[in-house]
Amino acid sequence: ETGVTQTPRHLVMGMTNKKSLKCEQHLGHNAMYWYKQSAKKPLELMFVYNFKEQTENNSVPSRFSPECPNSSHLFLHLHTLQPEDSALYLCASSQGLAGPYEQYFGPGTRLTVT
């Protein structure tokens, strides 16, 4: 999984904390994504960036704030989270947004909100 890396792999935070998740892709891709994966729920697409411009925000609460400084890096800033935000957060990248391009995923950050 050296193509897409995510740090930290595990994070425990209180509801009043501020933390950030980091994603880096080494594949030369142009598009990057944040997904939320909760137990017994479908994969939820949160944000999409293409050439570091946000192209999609799927009604994600403002306590999640993405940042994409360049095509290789993606951050997810977290503040005043709720216990229901506990989940596996996955970053992915792809060569393009549409067409036959598959997405490559990082290992995820397991987030626990206490």
Partner 1 sequence: AQSVAQPEDQVNVAEGNPLTVKCTYSVSGNPYLFWYVQYPNRGLQFLLKYITGDNLVKGSYGFEAEFNKSQTSFHLKKPSALVSDSALYFCAVRGGFQKLVFGTGTRLLVSP
Contacts with partner 1, residue ranges (CB under 8 A): 1, 4, 6, 42-43, 45, 48, 56, 88, 90, 92, 97-100, 102-108, 110
In the bound complex, what is the minimum distance in angstroms from residue 32's beta carbon to partner 1? Answer: 13
Taking the C-alpha atoms of residue 113 and residue 58, their distance in angstroms, rounded to an integer, is 21
In the bound complex, what is the minimum distance in angstroms from residue 61's beta carbon to partner 1? Answer: 20
User: Smaller CB distance to partner 1: residue 14 or 96?
Assistant: 96
Give the CA count within 13 Å in the CB-facing half-sphere of 34. Answer: 28
In the bound complex, what is the minimum distance in angstroms from residue 80's beta carbon to partner 1? Answer: 26
Taking the C-alpha atoms of residue 42 and residue 44, their distance in angstroms, rounded to an integer, is 6
Sheet (strand 18-25) strand order: 4-7, 18-25, 73-79, 64-70
User: Smaller CB distance to partner 1: residue 48 or 113?
Assistant: 48
Give the gyration radius of the chain's Cα atoms: 13
In the bound complex, what is the minimum distance in angstroms from residue 16's beta carbon to partner 1? Answer: 27
User: Smaller CB distance to partner 1: residue 20 or 103?
Assistant: 103
* DSSP letter (8 states) at residue 84: G
User: Smaller CB distance to partner 1: residue 37 or 80?
Assistant: 37
